[in-house]
Amino acid sequence: MRRTQPALVAREEIERQRERMREIAQMPGRPRTYCIVTYGCQMNEHDSETLAGMLREMGMEPVERREDADFVLFNTCCIRDNAERRALGNVTWLKELKKERPERMIGVCGCMVQRPGMAERLLRQYPFVDIALGTHNLYRFPELMAQALTTRRRVVEVVQDDEGHIPEDLPVCRQSPTHAYITIMYGCNNFCSYCIVPYVRGRERSRSAEAILQEARALKADGVREIMLLGQNVNSYGNDLQDGMTFPQLLRALDETGIDRIRFMTSHPKDLSDELIEVMAGAKHICHALHLPVQSGSDRVLASMNRRYTRAQYLERVRRLRERIPDIALTTDLIVAYPGETEEDFQQTCSLVREVGYDAAFTFIFSPREGTRAASMDGRIDEATATRRIEELIALQKENTRRRLQAMVGSVHRVLVDGASRRDAQQLAGKDEYGITVNFPGEGSLVGKIVPVRIGSAGESTLRGEICEGEIL
């Protein structure tokens, strides 16, 4: 049964935050420069773009080095223990910078701060942090900044609100003039046994289709060529709306806006419908690339993870995808050393990776997250075994990727040019329709255009080629 429309943050509240931004911009003692350090997923990257937009409205300019910034903000992740430890280690490092310049301000926000008990830990162990806020109250950042500047006291605010709210019309400072994120929903209802996301991002809340379509049209008018739709499980978009669009219906409507490329992530396999596959197969602008996390190839482990699909069901979805979209690029997430994972379970994961032949995979050793069911499970895998398994899996996928890329040599790909190649300033680089980086010689005037490139050779994870005859868009 569908719930009522998720609560929007009132326009009056958003305008109040904008007024705080204007007030801060007039403060003589405000920070003049900022540096945002982002950890985690694309959702965090987009949150950082919103935070940057607000800081620009406060009259601050970005700098690349945190040592040069008057205000340093860490936007954190807690999906795995090493990401959290990295963030806290870097925050601790800033203690010395604070000693050098006591007026320098330090902020911490995001999923790590939202985790139960972390706000208290920040207050106790990190007294040099000036501002801390979680995921549910990011839109209140200007007000918290104003409090810290006027009172010169620490401001920590973490709202434990499972339902959450949906803020609209906040300023955004995009990292790219041609690529943009659009968040279509927040939160997650799946409660996989290893995952902390539902506890720090809250329950699923979908934005209205009207707001999403309006944002997409505005981005297209602003010169954006490619959008990435974001959600913890985009396939369940609209389930919480009354008379709202389903995700396939939303994709069809976005395809009709004429924006050049549409991507989305992440898709939960249990919710990947035939309707969605048909929309992808028939659309003009939806890229033939899908991130479909499987996590394990063992039915026993999948059941323990609460993934709610079997290996056979997953493979049937892959078969259907390749039947309707033969050139689709598939990527995935894989966890090894999950509690109780036997050698047979691990080999079943390896055999699934061979059978699917993923274009790429993000592989992880299980990381226990306090508060999740898996964190208290018996059967923890020793470090040596976990390391051996992850290395074996990485080597297997590396060979899959090599074969997939080598098979593309000689074909023509449409590449959206981002700029100069990282490794060779004389070359251009961009992503093709499958999300693969392609390097090729060309003029700077091609940046932001979609060009035909004939693939001449393949590296470990990238392609190289030459511009060939064909329309440049």
Q: What is the pLDDT of residue 172?
A: 95
Q: What is the pLDDT of residue 79?
A: 85
- Six-digit token string for 141: 């950042």
Q: What is the pLDDT of residue 5?
A: 54
* CA neighbours closer than 13 Å in the CB half-sphere of residue 25: 15
Residue whose tokens read 């190289």 = 464
Q: Tens of pLDDT along the chain (473 residues)?
A: 344 455 677 789 999 999 999 999 999 999 999 999 999 899 999 999 999 999 999 999 999 999 999 999 999 998 888 888 888 888 888 888 888 899 999 999 999 999 888 888 888 889 999 999 999 899 999 999 999 999 999 999 998 764 567 888 899 999 999 999 999 999 999 999 999 999 998 899 999 999 999 999 999 999 999 999 999 999 999 998 887 799 999 999 999 999 999 999 999 999 999 999 999 999 999 999 999 999 999 999 999 999 999 999 999 999 999 999 999 999 999 999 999 999 999 999 999 999 999 999 999 999 999 899 999 999 999 999 999 999 999 999 999 999 999 999 999 999 999 999 988 888 999 999 999 999 999 999 999 999 999 999 999 999 999 999 888 88
Tell me how far apart the alpha carbons of residues 331 and 399 are, in angstroms, rounded to a whole number. Answer: 14
| Domain assignments of the chain as residue spans, ordered by start | 11-157, 412-467
Give start and end residues of each alpha helix (H) in 309-376: 311-324, 343-356
* CA neighbours closer than 13 Å in the CB half-sphere of residue 289: 18
Tell me how far apart the alpha carbons of residues 127 and 119 are, in angstroms, rounded to a whole number. Answer: 12
- Six-digit token string for 215: 């944002």
CB crowding 352-369: b at 16 or more within 10 Å, else e: bbeebebbbbebbbbbbb
* CA neighbours closer than 13 Å in the CB half-sphere of residue 94: 30
Tell me how far apart the alpha carbons of residues 259 and 219 are, in angstroms, rounded to a whole number. Answer: 9
The region, left, alpha or beta by phi > 0 then psi within -120 to 50, assigned to residue 59 is left
Q: What is the pLDDT of residue 465?
A: 97
Q: What is the pLDDT of residue 94?
A: 86
> What is the fold of 11-157?
Rossmann fold (3.40.50)
User: β-strands 33-38, 329-336: how paired?
Assistant: unpaired
pLDDT per position as a tens digit, 24-45: 999 999 999 999 999 989 999 9
pLDDT per position as a tens digit, 200-218: 988 999 999 999 999 999 9
**Which CATH architecture best describes the domain 412-467?**
Beta Barrel (2.40)
Tell me how far apart the alpha carbons of residues 209 and 5 are, in angstroms, rounded to a whole number. Answer: 12
